Structure 1
Amino acid sequence: MSNINHGTIFNALENWAPKRLAYGWDNVGLQIGSTLTKTTKVMITLDVLESVVDEAIENDVNLLIAHHPLLFKSIKNIDVHSIKGKVIEKLIKHDITVYAAHTNLDIAKNGVNDLLCEALEIKATKHLLDVYKEKLFKLIVFVPKTHSDQVREALGNAGAGHIGNYSHCTFQSKGQGTFMPQEGTNPFIGRTKELEMVDEVKMETVVQENNVAKVLSAMKKAHPYEEVAYDLFPLEYAGETFGLGRIGSLQETITLQAFSEKVKQTFHIDCLRVVGDLTKQVKKVAVVGGSGEKFLHQAKKMGADVYITGDMTFHHAQEALEMGLAIIDPGHYIEEIMKKATKLYLTNQFANLPVIVSNTNTNPFQFI
């Protein structure tokens, strides 16, 4: 039995797939329920259908984590006799919270598209399309020498000073600070109306835009002064870049026919749709999980021999054929790869958290 609440789990998920990465039309995060509820058992699903909710009830689950949001758009009423209304009613009656990580999990590092590439052994991947560049800030804080270690540690633990694969990065220089406490103050050092000189450390570090509030809060909590002297200003260069889709290479060139068979075997599907000459030699592969037909031209521009995505429509398929870009459409459902990966991520984060993967098949298609 875990002793954490849903909000703690949401925070961990957002360290992996920050909500700021989601597209503006998307609706990620809490869908139904509360961040404050104590988590008893988690189930990971691709979709939130009534059959999935029934499975959650049967397994005493009180938190559903989905890839596809239950609520995409705002609703004006909840008719419990409608399909969606019935699902919402069941969730509320059984105190089941729903959280969605959708396009943010597609875009995130080690998210859905990276998982698909890893499964297909596509190497040396890069973003098919850059969509978000992180803004960085320089934080400078002046700390009495006696407390520099604790402030530095607090900054690093709050996420400041991340540069590449290094954390807790700071630069420090020594000097003297002066101040004169005024009436009504309660100074940590010095006396009211007397000028004080203190050996201080000027500490500099880098902070990601989304983490500024957390870092400043941790800094002020660890700092001994009643009023903390610090500077915060934006940097000209950007931080990490995030992108949608991936493009990379197979270890060796193979035919479109052979690669299509590999896709079928990898994702355990009986059949898929292919556009192009099956004898064509392919090596450079672009991937967008879900519906990615709008990125056909980007895949071609970046030199892809073949593009893997779902929900390909007739005219877009014709366009790909005419431009010489092979297409493999294994369907939208291959995004279910996120279920096992999300379970693994959460169990690594929370050792005693019961997490299961939904066994319900939410793929609406069957082939006869």
Structure 2
Amino acid sequence: MAKVDDVLAALGEIAPSGLAFADDPIGLQVGDPGAEVQCAVVALDPSREAAEFATGHRAQLLLTHHPLLFHPTRRLAAGDGPSGLAFHLIQSGIACVAAHTNWDVAHGGINDTLAARLGLTEVNAFGSTPDQAQVKLVAFCPEGAVDGVIEAASQAGAGLIGAYRRCAFLSRGTGTFVPGAVASPTVGQVGRTETVDEVRVEMVLPAARMVEVAAAVRAAHPYEEPAFDFFSLVPPPGHPIGRVGPLSAATTLGEFAKSVERTLATACRTWGAADRRIERVAVVGGAGDDEWPAAREARADVLVTGEVAQHQGLAASQAGFALIEAGHYATEQPGMAALRDAMAKAMPSVEWLLFEPPPGVAGRPL
């Protein structure tokens, strides 16, 4: 029987936590990691209606894009709002998991799905990247302990590089030490110099996970005083959130906006001349209006996003760049169907359902 922990592991393969932006509260927010899961519901928002849908289908897990608890809460009590919904889910035995910016960025995620729906070809990534501070773990282990240390560190959050987990580099060398008078050495004798063959294990991790990874290494390492360090890293170029690519055929801004409306079953607002030529399109689902300068730099003719604030629309217009606002729900819901399909493929023993609210309900506009 699958457990919540198994869902988290599968989700980590599909939307790795290392792709999330800093301070994004992804992962398990409510529930027991050891609880069994036979049925799970995927929804864009953690709404009361989504929770009722999950309860009605006797689901044990609700997987949403937008986190239920985005900010710290001081109380969990029956009532309205996120804390009230969290209380309801706990009472109902339903775990709540969020895949937010990690699913925006991930291969096959929100923005890949949106790009495919709108007919973009030769798609590339552009825009903001996760800015989590990273460190590198360097630990020294006897040969027989290497796998255990790597696994423990991985479970604690180390070794995630893009869509790959349990990533480590190993090099072999020689360690030397003299056990002190009060030591209880696993290898060697008190007061005598000992030389041992050891393996250097290197793994990257978010700086915020150092305490957990350090505890995991100590627990898995056979030595009384394991030798390991953390080194600060200059982050390499990350995984951008947006997608950009050409259309199969050039069109005008007015005609393309109509195509977006038909494809996403939505109403659009457009900034720019209707007869403007459109060949190359950028997309950022949800609230992505601040990515328009990056879209312009990526040689896009227009950015399609879910929300456009007035000041962003004005700034883009003044810069001669076109915007299409297609709605938060319309630009992200297709990606939730893709997440349901990906989770169903990864965990066929679990029944995976997609919650699609009717127009005017649970954040879906009329």
State whether TM-score is above 0.5: yes
1:12-64, Cα deviation, whole Å (9 max, x unpaired): 4356242883465x654444444443333210011233332222121101211
Task: Kindly provide the CA deviation profile for residues 135-156 of structure 1, in whole angstroms up to 9, marking residues without a partner as x.
Answer: 242515253xxx25x5157527
151, 155, 169: which one aligns with 2:146: 151
**Sequence identity, in percent?**
27
Which has the larger Rg? 1
Alpha-carbon contact 1:43-1:63 (below 8 Å) kept: yes
Query: Quick check: 2:289–2:307 contact (8 Å CA) kept in 1?
Result: yes
Alpha-carbon separation, structure 2, partners of 1:277 and 1:118:
25
Q: Are 1:203 and 2:200 an aligned pair?
A: yes
> How big is the shift at 1:336?
0.9
The amino acid that maps onto 2:365 is F
Partner of 1:234: 232
What is the SS of the residue equivalent to 1:132? coil
Question: 1:337: how far off?
Answer: 2.0
Residue 197 to residue 302, structure 1, CA distance change in 2 (3 Å): closer
Which consecutive residues of structure 2, in runs of 5 or more, have no partner in the other structure?
none
Distance 1:234 1:306, change over 3 A: same
State the partner residue of 1:137. Answer: 136
Shift >6 Å, 4+ stretches: 76-79, 83-86, 160-167
Q: Give the TM-score of the pair, scaled to structure 1.
A: 0.77
2:125 corresponding residue in structure 1: 126
- Count of residues paired in the alignment: 355
Which residue pairs with 2:365 in the alignment?
365
Within a 5 Å distance, the mapping from 1:1-368 to structure 2 comes to: 2-4=1-3, 6-10=4-8, 12-14=10-12, 16-18=15-17, 21-22=20-21, 24=23, 27-73=25-71, 82=80, 87=85, 90-122=88-120, 123-132=122-131, 135-137=134-136, 139-143=138-142, 147=143, 150-151=145-146, 154-155=149-150, 158-159=153-154, 169-175=168-174, 177-198=175-196, 200-210=197-207, 219-220=217-218, 223-235=221-233, 237-239=234-236, 241-267=238-264, 269=265, 271-313=267-309, 316-334=312-330, 335-361=332-358, 362-366=362-366
Task: State the TM-score, normalizing by the size of structure 2.
Answer: 0.78
Query: Would the alpha carbon gap of residues 76 and 181 (structure 1) be closer, same or farther in structure 2, given more than 3 Å must change?
Result: closer
Give the 3 Å change call, closer, same or farther, for CA 252–77 of structure 1 in structure 2.
Answer: same
Aligned partners of 1:155 and 1:215 also within 8 Å: no
Q: Which runs of 5+ in 1 are unaligned?
A: none
Deviation at 1:158, TM superposition (A): 4.7
One-letter code aligned to 2:92: H
CA distance in 2, matches of 1:255, 1:196: 76
State the shift of 1:74 in Å: 5.2
Using the alignment, how far apart are the partners of 1:215 and 1:134 within structure 2? 15
